[in-house]
Structure 1
Amino acid sequence: MSLRGTREVRENYQIFRLTGLLDAFSEPAFRKVIGDCIDNGPKNLILVLAQIDFIDSSGLGALVQLVKKAQNAGGSLQIVTNPRVTQTVKLVRLEKFLSLQPTVEIALEKLKKK
């Protein structure tokens, strides 16, 4: 698979650290796994995409769907990025909607303010 990762579950949030490619090939499994994790809780998620080498339109679409799913479940989704992912997200003007954060620590601070 072109996308791999780890999951860490805490009391009121989950952190996913992903590496590889978030593209049309990996997107269906990514969306299903993360969606199931939202359903099972906790509802607040942090996706660490700092080690993602490439994201395409299907990957961006999955992120948008997962943000909406988390919000509809009463949670939130923060995304920690790298310059490549940030640039791709900014090209389609989704940086505010996708709640991009520079570090996990800042993403955690945003969760605490909820």
Structure 2
Amino acid sequence: MTKCLDDGPNHVILDLSKIDFIDSSGLGVLVQLAKKAQTAKGSFQIVTNPRVTQTVKLVRLETFLSLQTGVDVAIENVPSK
């Protein structure tokens, strides 16, 4: 993912809707990727399911990590420029 943010498009959508569990290491990686996207003036949106969303909310990162309920919603929220 880091390489994608370095070399690829400025706007990335990561679909985590099929995973059942995320721990502090995974959350740390998502925070690093979100910061990297901000630095590059891009966006990094994460599609989640209720279980992942609950974990992210426990550590109060839901706004910073730009959680989305579906890929279609995330695509609609990609900045136009």
Pair in the same fold by TM > 0.5: yes
Matches of 2:2 and 2:36 in 1, distance apart? Answer: 7
Question: 1:51 aligns to what?
Answer: 18
Amino acid at match of 2:55: T
Question: 2:35 aligns to what?
Answer: 68
| Structure with the higher fraction of residues in strand conformation | 1
Equivalent runs, 1:90-101 vs 2, <5 Å = 90-101=57-68
Matches of 2:38 and 2:10 in 1, distance apart? Answer: 8
> How far did residue 81 of structure 1 move?
0.2
The gaps in structure 1 that reach 5 residues or longer are: 1-33
Please report the TM-score for the alignment, with normalisation by the length of structure 2.
0.94
The answer on whether the counterparts of 2:43 and 2:79 sit within 8 Å (CA) in structure 1 is no
The count of aligned residue pairs is: 81
Matches of 1:57 and 1:113 in 2, distance apart? Answer: 32
The gaps in structure 2 that reach 5 residues or longer are: none
RMSD value, Cα: 1.1
Query: What SS is found at the alignment partner of 1:94?
Result: coil
1:69-109: CA deviations, max 9, x gaps?
A: 01101111001000110000000000000000001111011
Identity %: 68
Matches of 1:38 and 1:58 in 2, distance apart? Answer: 19
Structure number with the bigger relative contact order (C-alpha 8 A, sep ≥ 6) is 2
Amino acid at match of 2:18: Q
Please report the TM-score for the alignment, with normalisation by the length of structure 1.
0.68
Equivalent runs, 1:1-114 vs 2, <5 Å = 34-112=1-79
Query: What SS is found at the alignment partner of 1:111?
Result: coil
> How far did residue 39 of structure 1 move?
0.6
Select the structure of larger CA radius of gyration: 1
